Structure 1
């Protein structure tokens, strides 16, 4: 690696809220919440199910999403731009069909990309914050503003992307009439509740995964529960469960947690030095 590339902190840099928040272990639960939320947009979820083998490669899709988040957060600027270029190229080639009208549309339409982006970023912010990660409202707004850079990578105009909590809330209020738990959303829901696993892992699915998926679902907004038609515990109870889970996961030494795939953060610390290692106390104020 040449010197310039070795010193490149990437799009977000260790001085960003994103750098600190995305290292938190609750991001995995937040990612599952994002899938639940994203599936409620019929046009967006059709684009996924009609263009991928989600039913047989859902785990691969989850890991590819985690890899994209990892490389755009902790990779070099060149790495992030290259990852964004690949995503834009794929989106530009894919279409989906509305089964009711026969309309064909591109999966890279700005309104669909915006929905996926907002559902994802809102889920990361909500789950990590509610699980006890020390965060002020101003830091939450800064996190959303930082992710205009990530939105640009997938093909969105940053000026059209919500940059604070008020704008994000207004976006969800505006888009809610378009949302529904159609057959595709039910399919995603069924997978997340009972993902296919090797027969030897069925007991682990019942003991562990069921609780993880339930917590991700419970952390959705009330209007999402209403669309899916399944109740959830009161928000105060969900927040307590998120805090308990966050406390347990954060008790696992970071040196062990960060060795699970993808390992982009480890590479970033190697590249930039120990000062780049995330910690809640380093969230910029």
Structure 2
């Protein structure tokens, strides 16, 4: 038992470093600062966004989001030419996690500041790329079309991962009749899209699927594979993780690949395992172990709950549970 506890401790340290990028700081200061602020934020404890972003399914969701985002040659060019993801992947991951959790759990002011910061950082991310039809085109990270694809891929990834590894998204109180929890999540997270410059983001699951299909059907925005996509796939298949994280990551990666639509697997050059039910069970088991190590609620959510308690949105007796 003592040996097992020691192993869980090492695993926890590895996971914290992977998600925060810092071995020496277990809880980054920015997460604790989410307890500050004078408003409840865009989302609350009963929201679909808190449900989807509050569990371990966000880990495979991140893998899926990166795979799908890479299929737009303009979005991929921005990452390949203006990102240091190969040399310092965890710094980029930590930055993405900070944005997601700040928009999810922070006050409205904190969420807007986080999005404004990302958009400022994206200003110099410009260049050219080769489109699916072979023509050379210009891109800019803050272009509404590229911002839309990133938002669509993110929304699809987090929704699908939750459904695959957890179950149906719970419908928040007040959800209109005929709308599912999945519809509620897409509608709620549209706020994040608008804050990032997306024009009229989808507000239902059907609209999300339709908008993603339009990208592949439109010659001006068509998705594509190719050597650059293969390079990203190679990196995502074998990222520089600590040895004790690699088996679990491989299980999640295979399960994510199995969950991709056939068209996306074709573009990425990835093959399904042929046993998606088995790989999904393996992914669930991996996430269950990670959940045991990291706890049911993360520091960002706990900080948000402290803010909501201070503002009277939650009762004062609300416990700080891990």
> Shorter-chain-normalised TM-score: which range?
0.7 to 0.9
* TM-score, structure 1 normalization: 0.83
2:231 paired with 1:187: yes
Q: Secondary structure at the match of 2:86?
A: helix
Query: In the alignment, which of 266, 271, 278 is matched to residue 307 of structure 2?
Result: 271
Write 1 or 2 for the structure with the bigger share of helix: 1
| Structure 1 gap ranges (5+) | 280-285
The match for 2:29 is none
Q: Secondary structure at the match of 2:87?
A: helix
Query: In the alignment, which of 295, 303, 320 is matched to residue 256 of structure 1?
Result: 295
User: Residues 186 and 133 of structure 1: is their aligned pair in 2 closer, same or farther, counting only changes over 3 Å?
Assistant: same
CA distance in 2, matches of 1:169, 1:78: 31
The match for 1:46 is 77
2:68 paired with 1:37: yes
The match for 2:248 is 208
User: Residues 255 and 184 of structure 1: is their aligned pair in 2 closer, same or farther, counting only changes over 3 Å?
Assistant: closer
Once the two structures are superposed, the pairs formed by residues 161-176 of structure 1 within 5 Å of their partners are 161-176=201-216
Q: Secondary structure at the match of 1:25?
A: coil
Cα RMSD over matched residues?
2.8
The match for 1:283 is none
Provide the aligned length of Structure 1 versus Structure 2: 266
**1:132, 1:243 within 8 Å by CA — same for their partners in 2?**
no
The match for 1:227 is 267
| Structure 2 gap ranges (5+) | 1-31, 171-178
CA distance in 2, matches of 1:85, 1:48: 19
Query: In the alignment, which of 138, 141, 156 is matched to residue 104 of structure 1?
Result: 138
**1:193, 1:213 within 8 Å by CA — same for their partners in 2?**
yes
User: Residues 104 and 170 of structure 1: is their aligned pair in 2 closer, same or farther, counting only changes over 3 Å?
Assistant: closer
Greater relative contact order (Cα 8 A, min sep 6): structure 1 or 2?
A: 1
The match for 2:196 is 154
